[in-house]
Amino acid sequence: MVSLLCNPLATADQLASSSTQADGIPADLEASLRWAGSELIQSAGILLRLPQKTVATAIVLFQRFYLLSSMRSCAIIDACHAAIFLSSKLTEHPAKPRDIINVTTYLLSAPLPSPISPVAGEESTPPEKYYVTEQEYYNKRTRLLNIETEILRACGFQTHLSLPYTLCINYIQSLSVLSAEVVKKSFGYLTDALLSPSLLYLTHQPNSLAVAAVYLGARECEVKLPAAWWDVFDCEREELGFLVVCMKGVSEFVESETKLWKGRKPGIPWELEDLDMHLERRRVLDNELEI
């Protein structure tokens, strides 16, 4: 019997052979698009008032889908819509397709603090720019439902996901260091890990993620923990060290991606047509550099 605290992880072959890169998308652009989609889901979840469990599940479903499918198979924006919709049903916090589509359209049109939102200009953005007409809504809803089916097929209808947040609290209590500050810091690292380019939630079990988050949270709060305490929670020292480095590096990665895309014209290629145009521009620029 498979433990409910374990998740199906990505294999070495799946990580080494990217369908997206095989379709002609460079590795750096693939990482940027994965980050942008995860950021959009996180920002949309806040505006939709969804619990973090639903948001985290949606991000992991989004990342699982594009681990198994090419980013040229469907638009990033449609995959985000479908992941949020499917996650909201799996976690019993249903969100309507219309609400999801309206929120993401607003995030990508109005100047907001979110890293994937446009920069505020001298003139205010007219509301008409982020208004979704009935025809646009029905088209996007149809694509949402189609991609939801594709996500389920790609994952083999395996939608089980155990998140490390509950384990994190249990570990902190077991170590007798329970405090609001330690929990806050630890949860922050678990949420940051969702944006990691190393796909930590797809390559490591939740108990290891929880151990790494507790380690970092306790260290920042200057709380002393017992020697080799991670062995009790079935996490090897080498794995802990790798996770600590990856979690600490997420902020730098997000900062670099935000600097790269924030205010850029044209911006993140959310639609397939935009992606094709972006790749063509890169190809032209590369040819000019070679000349």
Predicted pLDDT at 3: 65
Tallying the residues shown for the chain, one arrives at 291
- For the cut 50, the answer to whether the pLDDT of residue 218 exceeds it is yes
Q: CA dist 155 to 9, 62, 66, 68, 149, Å?
A: 11, 10, 10, 8, 10
Query: Which two tokens mark 157?
Result: 């209808």
How sure is the predictor about 262, in pLDDT bands with cuts at 50, 70 and 90?
A: confident
- pLDDT tens per residue, range 76-131: 999 999 999 999 999 999 999 999 999 999 999 887 777 888 776 644 566 667 78
Question: Of 162, 160, 159, whose CA–CA distance to 209 is shortest?
Answer: 162
Rounded Cα–Cα distance for residues 127 and 129 (Å): 5
In a domain, 194, yes or no: yes
Domain count, the chain: 2
Q: List Cβ neighbours of 65 (8 Å cut-off, separation of 6 or more).
A: 79, 83, 150, 151, 154, 155
Predicted pLDDT at 122: 42
- Of 137, 159, 181, which residue constitutes the final position of a domain? 159
In a domain, 212, yes or no: yes
Q: Is 119 found in the same domain as 191? A: no
How sure is the predictor about 2, in pLDDT bands with cuts at 50, 70 and 90?
A: very low
Looking at residue 122, which CATH number applies to its domain?
1.10.472.10
In a domain, 19, yes or no: no
The domain of 145 spans 27-159
In a domain, 154, yes or no: yes
- For the cut 80, the answer to whether the pLDDT of residue 224 exceeds it is yes
Q: CA dist 55 to 162, 260, 288, Å?
A: 13, 25, 42
Rounded Cα–Cα distance for residues 151 and 87 (Å): 11
Q: Is 155 found in the same domain as 32? A: yes
- For the cut 50, the answer to whether the pLDDT of residue 61 exceeds it is yes
- pLDDT tens per residue, range 136-188: 999 999 999 999 999 999 989 988 899 999 999 999 999 999 999 999 999 99
Q: Is 31 found in the same domain as 134? A: yes
